[in-house]
Amino acid sequence: MTQEKRVGLSATQKADLWCRWKAGQSLHEIGRAFGKEHAVIYFLLARHGGIAPAVRRRSLLALTLAEREDISRGIAGGWSIREIAKRLERAASTVSREVARHGGRPQYRASEADHQAWESALRPKRCLLALHGKLREIVASKLILDWSPEQISGWLKRQYPEDETMRVSHETIYRSLFI
């Protein structure tokens, strides 16, 4: 039995998918546009709770690929960590941690380190309602009474004005419902 290679969507196609979803197209319509089954489209949308993910941007504090390449060249050139850091105008501890995190001096590869850093920045976060039982129970009880997520969010702010742990946005409630 042969397995077909899964072909994902490019970044441009994903952006188009979210535009189509936001415009109100059905899963079937979006699927036809990309030559995919509607279940595949559902899976892609459900992964983000039906809400388009924010465009990923690298933090200004994070090392860039160019800086990582300079670190790699510095290692290959036999420079000390402090020399590399000085040339990059970064703290020596930043460069030292970067090199240690990615295999040390003999194994450091800039492109691999950059890819790992980009992937680890995704850090999946648990949903607020999954973390706070009391909040989850209150939200669920209000949903059973046919309250909208907007009503629940506003009510919680008025009911618990001093308790930040009892706040949840309507978007979080929608996201929890969609998944």
Structural domain spans, the chain: 11-46, 65-120, 128-178
Q: How much is the pTM?
A: 0.51
Q: What is the C-alpha separation between 92 and 113, in angstroms, rounded? A: 17
Quick one: pLDDT at residue 27? 93
| pLDDT confidence band for 1 (50 / 70 / 90) | very low
CA 65, CA 120: separation in Å to the nearest integer?
A: 15
Model confidence pLDDT, tens digit, residues 121-161: 776 667 788 888 899 999 999 999 999 999 999 999 999 99
Give the model confidence (pLDDT) of 4-51 as tens digits: 455 578 888 988 999 999 999 999 999 999 999 999 999 888 888 888
Instruction: Give the pLDDT confidence score for residue 92 in this predicted structure.
Output: 96
> Residue 127's closest CA among 77, 177, 56, 90?
177
